[in-house]
Structure 1
Amino acid sequence: MDLTADFWNTKYKNNQIGWDLGEISPPLKTYFEQLKNKNIKILIPGGGNSYEAEWLFKNGFYNVFVVDLSEIALKNIQQRISHFPTSQLIHGNFFDIDDSFDLIVEQTFFCAIHPNLRANYAKKMHELLKPNGKLVGLLFDAKLNENHPPFGGNKKEYKAYFEPYFTVQIMENAFNSIASRAGMELFCIFKNTTSNT
Structure 2
Amino acid sequence: MAGPTQEFWQTRFARKELPWDRGEANPQLHAWLATHAIEPGARILVPGCGRGWEVAELTAAGMRVTGIDYAAGAIDACAALLAERGLEAELVQADVLGWQPEMPADAIWEQTCLCALHPDHWLAYASQLHRWLRPGGMLYAMFMQTPGEAATTGIIEGPPYHCDIRAMRALFPSGRWEWPKPPYPRLTHPTGGHELAVPLVRRSFIETDSSK
Identity of aligned residues (%): 23
Write out per-residue CA displacement over residues 94-137 of structure 1, whole angstroms, 9 at most, x where no aligned residue.
12222210000011211100111111122111111001001002
The answer to whether the 8 A contact 2:20-2:190 is kept is no
Determine if the alignment matches structure 1 residue 155 to structure 2 residue 165.
Answer: yes
Q: For 1:84 and 1:95, locate their aligned partners in 2 and report how far apart those are by CA, in whole Å.
A: 27
What is the aligned partner in structure 2 of residue 25 from structure 1? 26
Q: For 1:179 and 1:130, locate their aligned partners in 2 and report how far apart those are by CA, in whole Å.
A: 30
Distance 1:119 1:170, change over 3 A: farther
What is the aligned partner in structure 2 of residue 187 from structure 1? 197
Cα RMSD for the two superposed structures: 2.3
| TM-score (ref. length: structure 2) | 0.82
The answer to whether the 8 A contact 2:136-2:203 is kept is yes
Distance 1:172 1:66, change over 3 A: farther
> Which of 35-44 and 132-141 deviates more?
35-44
Determine if the alignment matches structure 1 residue 113 to structure 2 residue 117.
Answer: yes
What is the aligned partner in structure 2 of residue 67 from structure 1? 68
Q: Does the residue aligned with 1:169 lie in a helix, a strand or coil?
A: coil
Residue 171 of structure 1: how far off its partner (Å): 5.3
The amino acid of 2:73's aligned partner reads I
Determine if the alignment matches structure 1 residue 92 to structure 2 residue 94.
Answer: yes
Greater C-alpha Rg: 2
Residue 52 of structure 1: how far off its partner (Å): 0.8
Determine if the alignment matches structure 1 residue 12 to structure 2 residue 22.
Answer: no
Distance 1:182 1:6, change over 3 A: closer
Structure 2 alignment gaps of length 5 or more: 151-155, 207-212
| TM-score (ref. length: structure 1) | 0.87
Determine if the alignment matches structure 1 residue 49 to structure 2 residue 60.
Answer: no
Q: For 2:82 and 2:57, locate their aligned partners in 1 and report how far apart those are by CA, in whole Å.
A: 10
> Which of 88-97 and 33-42 deviates more?
33-42
Q: For 1:125 and 1:154, locate their aligned partners in 2 and report how far apart those are by CA, in whole Å.
A: 18
The amino acid of 1:7's aligned partner reads F
The answer to whether the 8 A contact 2:43-2:107 is kept is yes
Q: For 1:32 and 1:43, locate their aligned partners in 2 and report how far apart those are by CA, in whole Å.
A: 15
Residue 142 of structure 1: how far off its partner (Å): 3.0
The amino acid of 2:140's aligned partner reads V
Structure 1 alignment gaps of length 5 or more: none
Q: For 1:126 and 1:147, locate their aligned partners in 2 and report how far apart those are by CA, in whole Å.
A: 26
Q: For 2:59 and 2:198, locate their aligned partners in 1 and report how far apart those are by CA, in whole Å.
A: 22
Determine if the alignment matches structure 1 residue 165 to structure 2 residue 166.
Answer: no
